[in-house]
Amino acid sequence: MNLNSRTTLKDKKLQEPMKILMIAPQPFFQPRGTPFSVLGRLYALSELGHHVDLVTYHLGQNVSIRNVNIYRVPFVPFINSVKVGPSLAKIPLDILLFVKAIQLLSRNKYQLLHTHEEAGFFGVFLKYIFRLPHVYDMHSSLPQQLHNFKFSNSQLLHRIFLALENLTLKTSDAVITICPDLYRYVQKLGIARSLILIENVVEYARLFDDPDGLLSDVMDVNRVANRIKVLYSGTLEPYQGLDLLIDSAVQVVRQVPTVLFLIVGGKPDQIAEYREKIHQRGLEDYFVLTGSVSPTLAEQFVEYTDILVSPRISGNNTPLKIYSYLRSGKPIVATRLSTHTQVLNDSVAVLTAPTPVEFGRGLLKVLQDRQFGERIGRNAQKLASEKYSYSLYLQRMQKVLKSIQSTKLN
């Protein structure tokens, strides 16, 4: 998979190039939250003139980025996938990841260690062993993940993760958070030396040179040409609220029978489960489920549809799709939870209570008032250009690296 080689900052003076070891405990690359974030960091660091060695799992699709090398842990035959959130499969993979990182640190001279998620725990030890500054890229609070994903109710395990997370925050030379709620959480703790918010605003689909497929490859575009299309794009994990969306559709189709819900993303077993739920509600004529698609094709769906939805029912992180939704200028309907309201407001989206009745009403408000939808869409585009631009993303990445370099000089 090849990525563009455009250089946004080619006319600006770059910092002195650094050689960076990045540790990402995820399947990379796969089209889901944290791997997208890692991709954005790699691309930005490359544009800024730095060299990165990425250590990651054996799973995922290779990408080609200038100045970036990917090193994978050995193939583990009994682990063919890793689900979103905490999982037992991550334990042996993270052990291998730690060993691989030590091997690379022993053989090469790096100027910076950059870790993601639970690899931040590795950074606590590796920074002192190899005398390197450490940047911790915090995508979520890991103790909270244990609860949010119902991984374990063990209070002992929660306390261990909390202690490790606090130690990581306290010892890191810089901490990056990806959303305002997480930033405020760390800020309130008052233990991070240097804290910066860098939201995942990268236009990921534009990083890829060649479009991968057409809409007609995954759906009959002629059959749905005259329908009003509502899009959900992303994973189909329970917290994303697909059950809420399906339940809300019952009242929507009664009043707007030309509506069509497009569900883009998900694994085969999840697709089968939701198809059965749609069948039970007699909504087969109103839903199309495509399964997982490439980032470029997902972006084509955003451009193709009329209304964009995010029915998430829990969580604190801003969904990556929200930034893409804002840029599109299409009307957005989302639940009124902090996962959305830290970016969205009533002038750029329809925000509703996380119930089927209220979400359905929000959809109908946009479906039945075209001018209103166009107005909030324009407001959304304006917000995206003013507050969530890629140039600002790069500036903040530079700020983190400059703070590291200045600390080393002092």
pTM of the predicted model as reported, rounded to 2 decimal places? 0.85
Pairwise CA distance, residues 17 & 292, whole Å = 37
pLDDT value at position 32? 81
pLDDT value at position 356? 97
pLDDT value at position 89? 83
pLDDT value at position 88? 82
Architecture in CATH for domain 19-201+389-409: 3-Layer(aba) Sandwich (3.40)
| Residue 56, beta-bridge partner list | 72
Q: Is 54 exposed, middle or buried (0-12, 13-18, 19+ CB in 10 A)?
A: buried
DSSP assignments along 19-58, one per residue: EEEEE--S-TT-SSHHHHHHHHHHHHHHHTT-EEEEEE-S
DSSP class of 12 = S
Amino acid, res. 306:
D
DSSP assignments along 123-137, one per residue: HHHHHHHTT--EEEE
Q: Are 231 and 301 in contact (CB under 8 A)?
A: yes
Kindly calculate the radius of gyration of the chain based on its CA atoms and give it in whole angstroms: 22
* Mean pLDDT for all residues in the chain: 90
Give me the residues of the chain with pLDDT under 50, please: 5-14, 409-410
pLDDT value at position 150? 66
Architecture in CATH for domain 215-387: 3-Layer(aba) Sandwich (3.40)
Pairwise CA distance, residues 113 & 101, whole Å = 10
Q: Quickly count: other Cβ atoms within 10 Å of residue 133's Cβ.
A: 21
Domain edges within the chain: 19-201+389-409, 215-387
DSSP class of 156 = H
Give how far Cα 326 sits from Cα of 234, 250, 308, 343, 353, Å.
15, 27, 10, 10, 20
How far, rounded to the nearest angstrom, does the alpha carbon of residue 374 sit from its chain's CA centroid?
A: 27
Domain 19-201+389-409 matches domain 215-387 at the CATH topology level: yes
Instruction: Provide the edge-to-edge strand list for the sheet that holds 195-197.
Output: 68-72, 51-56, 19-23, 112-116, 134-138, 174-177, 195-197
Element (H, E) at 404: helix 390-409
Amino acid, res. 324:
S
Q: Report the C-alpha dihedral over residues 395, 398, 400, 401, rounded to 10 degrees.
A: 180
Using one digit for the tens of pLDDT, what is the confidence trace for 23-77?
999 999 988 889 999 999 999 999 999 999 999 999 988 888 999 999 999 998 8
Q: Quickly count: other Cβ atoms within 10 Å of residue 346's Cβ.
A: 11
pLDDT value at position 15? 63
pLDDT value at position 395? 94
